[in-house]
């Protein structure tokens, strides 16, 4: 349980650091302070076992969207988004684990979850980085078809993963 909370704090800290680096490019000190205060509130809520932290996640996500609207460096925004999603997952995992006695929680379950999250976050960061580098022009019909293929592929991957759990 402690390793999940530590991973949550590391992920949230990395997200806030990437967000701060992005906003520093425009000297956005107010946005940095807002982000740090929302992040501190989120950490406090997760640490005390409260399940009402979703608005903190949405607040940080809104700051990232605001940063994208300001054309901040996208690599920092991508890093912040990926680690923010990982922090959200770890916060949810912590909430689910808190329903059990700490002695009943299997270290193998925790390790497997952390390993899967690391793989998914790494893949998201790599694919997002590739998407930032490669520019492809698609017409609307091609984009819709590609989106449909991605949706079908993700649905199949989810079914596969549910079958293996």
Token output for 58: 């949405």
**Per-residue pLDDT tens for 65-114?**
998 998 898 999 999 999 999 999 888 888 887 777 767 778 887 888 88
Q: How far is Cα 80 from Cα 97, in angstroms, rounded to an integer? A: 25
**Per-residue pLDDT tens for 7-31?**
989 999 999 999 999 999 888 789 8
Is the pLDDT confidence value at 165 over 60?
no
Q: What is the DSSP string of 94-131?
A: HHHHTTS-TTTS-HHHHHHHHHHHHHHHHHHHHHHHHH
Is the pLDDT confidence value at 1 over 70?
no
**Per-residue pLDDT tens for 108-143?**
878 888 888 899 899 889 988 888 898 878 788 888
Q: Which residue has the tokens 């490669």?
A: 134
What is the pTM assigned to this prediction? Answer: 0.80
């Amino acid at each position: 349980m402690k390793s999940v909370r530590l991973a949550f704090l590391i992920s949230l800290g990395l997200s806030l650091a990437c967000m701060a680096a992005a906003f520093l490019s425009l000297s956005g000190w107010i946005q940095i302070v807002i982000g740090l205060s929302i992040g501190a509130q989120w950490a406090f809520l997760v640490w005390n076992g409260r399940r009402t932290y979703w608005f903190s996640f949405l607040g940080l996500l809104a700051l990232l969207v605001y940063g994208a609207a300001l054309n901040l460096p996208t690599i920092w925004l991508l890093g912040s988004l990926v680690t923010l999603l990982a922090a959200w997952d770890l916060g949810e995992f912590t909430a689910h684990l808190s329903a059990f006695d700490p002695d009943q929680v299997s270290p193998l379950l925790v390790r497997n979850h952390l390993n899967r999250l690391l793989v998914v976050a790494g893949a998201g960061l790599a694919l997002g980085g590739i998407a930032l580098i490669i520019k492809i022009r698609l017409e609307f019909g091609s984009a819709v078809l590609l989106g449909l293929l991605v949706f079908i592929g993700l649905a199949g991957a989810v079914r596969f993963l549910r079958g293996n759990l």
